[in-house]
Structure 1
Amino acid sequence: MTLQYATTSYSEAARRPEPEHVALARLAWEVAVDQLALPGHAVIVRDDGSDEAAVVLCLLDQVAEAVMPGNERNGSVGGPASRPPAALGALALVAEIRQEIRRCCGDHEHEHPENLREQARIWARHAEEWQHSYPDYVLWAAEQAAEWVRQARLLLDPPPRYTLRGRACPTCGADSVQVWSDEESEYIRRPALSIDPEQLAAVCAACSQTWPIGAWMNLAAASGNPGTDVTGDTLG
């Protein structure tokens, strides 16, 4: 059997990966898939002070729910009176995971469930055997599964964007956009420009133009207004 996967420094190396590295990667692969495919547990504190245990959907199920229209969790910002029909980031992540599992396991004789959560768990069952026969894939799969966990958590609980009040986009000229508010159940006005801490960039919600923080500050100074008013308001 030949496994197709992205080339990494491990597969390019002339020597075989160290067994202890592969063993750790196998565990990391299994742990990451557990985070993706197994439900979590939380404690809910009631108004009367009592605690109640609750089961939380696994990350894959939460991301799959976010794909459905109206279930966006990323505080999407669009043009005037526009709300995206689905969470495109969640859709892309689900498609990427399905594609990799299909590429890896498509011709295997084991069961092939429709549910992505079960597919991921079956995919990870190969880890123990493949740490000896396909160590390069195990190293790659561990990194890839951990990246999927990171992306899923960012989609479901993204870091806040800090708005830049009173500034217009130098590209499109917009100074505000309409944003759907789940709390208000209606569109509200927000400044078009914000600081995205994940990208370390200024972002225009109207035209999607981005500028590195340093470039934005230089642009503000050149325009004669070096003071950038970063408010405590957040988007999403």
Structure 2
Amino acid sequence: MIARFILTWGALPLCSLLAQEISVTLSPEECAPGDLVRLSFQLESEAFTKMVVTKLSPEGIHPVFTEKRPIEFNPQTQRYEQKEHWIVQAMHSGEFLFSELMVTLEGLVNVEPVKIEPVQLTVTGYTETEDSPTPEAWPTYLENQQPTFSWLWGAIIIAICFAFYGLIQSKKKMGLIQQDVTEEDLLSLISHRLRCGAFPADTIERWLETDDAQDKHVLRKLLQQALYAKTYDRDALLEHLDKEAPV
């Protein structure tokens, strides 16, 4: 199910008319209780704006998690694109109507919240089968069956437990390290990743949200252009990064 809404604002002059298109997709449209369902929202806009979707789920629908994609500029369509996915789970069978969906476009003036048309999810119950009066057969006994080496299985399980414990401790350590990263360290990390041939989009977004980014106008503009427009001069960007945070 795909619903599209094309929004325009006639209060603007013709030369600066802004067109926004919102697409809503439900996949699958029919499922069984406990199945995961994806409700997706996609916004295409000529002007840079941020889409905010209200999270109102019908009774009997359990929200699992929300996935938001960063805003990207499509050079082919000359539009900004952004996506948001809700992963939900139906607790029981029935018809569920997502009727309170609202989208707010931040960054645009004189734009009211947009009410999305209701989206329906059908959840079918499990079919019942009658029990057979015939008893099930006993499993075949194998006279030459080899004995189970319980000690070997125990050693394997212990090794797996130690491996998981080490992995959890490693992730905790990495999380503490990331929490201690300062604003200057973020710039050093961005510079290092660019020199390695990678593009650290997540790290750039984190730095743009800091107070340090508000004071560095030129560097902030270069990083925003690299992140959203996908066009940037790598050497010029590294030169500005070296001035702010030496590698």
Q: TM-score, normalised by structure 1?
A: 0.21
- Structure with greater proportional helix content: 1
- Structure with greater proportional strand content: 2
Q: Which has the larger radius of gyration?
A: 2
